[in-house]
Amino acid sequence: MRYPPDHKQATHRRILEVASQAFRERGVAETGVDEVMRRAGLTHGGFYAHFRDKTELVAEACAAAFDAAVVNLDRIADQPTATQRARLLIDSYLSPRHRDNRGSGCLVVAVGADMARLHGAARRGYARGFMRHLDRLGAALRLSRDPAVNRERVVSLMSSLVGALLFARAIDDPARSDEILRSMRRHLRVEFCGPRGQPGLDDAPAPAPAHDFLLAHTSFSP
């Protein structure tokens, strides 16, 4: 059977997409090559036509996931003020929809702990992708005209978002989990959005796709 010229590239992208989803859902250590290939509708043997080993898969899947987030960062960058840009990120990230959809959500909160335990190419690939992602996020948010201050504020905001989402996902009581999201949205609006972020004002999340806000839509559905 003859395949079109771009068949291998399309298959490679498909494997990366399902791998990044599986890693976010189950964790890197708990996701084997067999499961990734099964989700992609392929055989285990076909894996080695694309990757040397799982380490290479992890590095490429993380890089691809961070690159896919550019579309969503562009949505932030399009907002006319720093307050609106920060508000869009805060309300979208700290939403029940994002909390409940690990497979299509933020890669940082889903696999960051796994990466701290890895070594070699997988960790280096993730680290490069993550640092590039922070640079892109800083360029999108533009929280200060001073580059150093902007980066410091972006790192602070991202750290708070990741920690709050991690806490909310770890709690099995839906009401308490929702309260963590609500209280952190309010707190971060005060810090990053100015007077409009004060507690007691409109607490409805901004009308934005939150379940995959830091990962763009893909055409592949496993």
pLDDT of residue 7: 79
Residue 165 pLDDT class (50, 70, 90 cuts)? very high
- Is the same domain home to 132 and 188? yes
How many percent of the chain have pLDDT more than 70?
Answer: 85
- Is the same domain home to 18 and 79? no
pLDDT of residue 134: 95
User: Could you give the residue ranges of the DSSP H alpha helices within the chain?
Assistant: 7-26, 33-39, 54-68, 70-77, 82-93, 96-100, 107-117, 120-141, 147-170, 174-193
Residue 5 pLDDT class (50, 70, 90 cuts)? low
The range of the structural domain enclosing residue 168 comes to 67-197
Instruction: Please name which of 136, 119, 102, 101 lies closest in space to residue 59, comparing C-alpha atoms.
Output: 119
- Tens digits of residue pLDDT in 33-62: 999 999 999 998 899 999 999 999 999 999
- Is the same domain home to 193 and 120? yes
Residue 103 pLDDT class (50, 70, 90 cuts)? confident
- Is the same domain home to 180 and 84? yes
- Is the same domain home to 113 and 25? no
Residue 212 pLDDT class (50, 70, 90 cuts)? low
pLDDT of residue 166: 94
CATH number for the domain harbouring residue 172: 1.10.357.10
| Average per-residue pLDDT for the chain | 85
CA 131/CA 98 separation, integer angstroms: 22
Q: Out of 73-77, 117-121, 195-199, pick the least confident.
A: 195-199
The answer to whether residue 210 is domain-embedded is: no
Cβ atoms of 8 and 49 closer than 8 Å: yes
CATH number for the domain harbouring residue 17: 1.10.10.60
